[in-house]
Amino acid sequence: MKLDKPITIHPNKTRDNDGKLVTPDPITIETLSVIYVDNPDSRAYYLNVQHIPSPIFLWKEKDYDDAGDITKAMARERLYELSNLEYGEGNQEAFFQSFFPRTLEDDPYGPGSILHSMFSMLGIKAGPQCSCKRHAIEMNTRGIEWCENNRETILGWLEKESRARKIPWVETLGNMVLTRAISKAKKYREQQKDG
The band of 170, judged by pLDDT with boundaries at 50, 70 and 90, is very high
Residue 160's Cβ-count burial label (10 Å; 0-12, 13-18, 19+) is middle
Q: What is the pLDDT of residue 86?
A: 56
Average pLDDT score over residue span 176-187: 96
pLDDT above 70: residue 76: yes
The span from the first CA to the last CA of the chain, in angstroms, equals: 43
The DSSP bridge pattern shows strands 2-9 and 34-39 to be: unpaired
The band of 91, judged by pLDDT with boundaries at 50, 70 and 90, is confident
DSSP 93-146: HHHHHTTSPP-GGGSTTSHHHHHHHHHHHTT-PPPTTSSHHHHHHHHHHH-HHH
- Euclidean distance between CA atoms 37 and 44, whole angstroms: 8
pLDDT above 60: residue 171: yes
Q: What's the whole-number average pLDDT of the chain?
A: 89
Q: What is the pLDDT of residue 105?
A: 83
For the segment 4-63, what is each residue's pLDDT rounded down to a tens digit? 788 898 888 887 788 788 888 999 988 889 999 999 999 999 999 998 999 999 999 999
